[in-house]
Structure 1
Amino acid sequence: MTFSLPEGLPAGRLLPDGSPVQWQSDEPPSDPLAEWTRYQRQQGDTGLLPVLCSPNRRPEAPDLAAVDVFDLEGELERGWGAYRRRRLGWDEPAPPFDHWPGLAPGTLASSGADPDEAARSAFALLVDEWPYELWDGRLALVAARRSADIPVVVNWQAEAPLPLLCALLRSWEDRFGARVLAAVGSTLYVSVASPPRTEAEAHRIALEHLLTTADNLVDDPPTPFPQYAQSLVDAPLWRFWWD
């Protein structure tokens, strides 16, 4: 994999020293949208994917091999069984599935959407809706083959199960045109070019969200599952956080 740093970068450094996995700015960008968009448009030439992320310690060697061999369907089915047993008897509305329904069908191919263009629109929405959550985020340019691998390549310091998460992100990338936009603190922001259009589609995708083990969805959900699923209909931006 080859890459080249673009011209005109602000002050920053390569991580790790001498073996660049990413370049990261020393300070938060003054205009996150403009800077992220500029380097996202250049990614085909540079081979570097932009992401807004927290100041990282020196990254470890990326372990994408664990993602490559991850049994996504098997792990999600086991996770769904464990979730149902754990929540048995709870009063809140549960996901409307008696068994693991399988991955939600992909819609990207039939949508005609451009995932990179959708990512730019979603990043603008992110900056508009959650600016204070991004205040300490640094601009990083990551030597990753695909957006879904960014959390592993930058050694994202969160409680998220990275092999499961990145395997699922790869699948969302293929099925819905997902792109990782930011990983700031313990929160991950993902654009989606082809979000669910119907309630039935949204329920299947919401179940996959739930099985990421994200704390905003699993342990004490702020909204009942049906309402969360409904919020995904036509939503171009997905947000997950882990304590």
Structure 2
Amino acid sequence: MTTFRTRTAIATAALVAGLSLTACQNDDAVGAAVPAGSAANAGSSSTAGSGGAKASAGTAGTAGTGGSTASAGNSGSSAAGKTTGGGGSSQNAGGGNGGADSSACTTANTRVVVSKVARPVNHMLLTITNTGTKDCSAYNAPLLGFDDAQAATQINEDSKPQAVVTLAPGESAYASILLSSAAGDGEGGGDAKKLSVHFAQRDGGGSAGNPVTLNLPAGTYTDSTASVSYWQSDMQDALTF
């Protein structure tokens, strides 16, 4: 089993400040193959707008299923052949870049999807798709928080790629989330209902733009061994961690 080294200090302050910034919407029941998910569309406004029902892409890979999504106000198509998913409801949420590096991927220029996967066990897949008109870079690893966690989920340092993942419009990047130890040796376990996602700045000094909060499928169990990989350009590469 891959060992993990904790890299939480740089993300904790940004995570605590942002955990309550975005609105969530209840998921539909998770189906056996590609269940419906809930979506939040990030716009340029810093306040929540009115939501309307519409179809939203979930994510499935070769072993994935649809999940909760968040997308930018300027919607774009997912990379061909990389994602499929079920429809869901949507609402508008603020998605400004917060003065961060304009080259960074944020909620203002990406759609964010979290999905269950069949393999490896105890994993989920986080997918972002560039919905903007310019390239954006997925720096470092996503900064995650389950429910009301006061510290960011640890980052799997073994997953660090050789180069930053840069996305052209329509392209996607992936990060795997280990929810709990397969050996059952984690502590403080319980079912999580929400996942807060922050994007990292290039220098790793904090978060870029506003976070997004996604609803998790029922029965998403996490414990103290939970971790997230760095962004990867290939789905299967992400799921190896």
Shared fold per TM-score greater than 0.5:
no
Q: Which has the larger radius of gyration?
A: 1
TM-score scaled by structure 2? 0.32
Structure 1 or 2: larger helix share? 1
TM-score scaled by structure 1? 0.32
Structure 1 or 2: larger strand share? 2
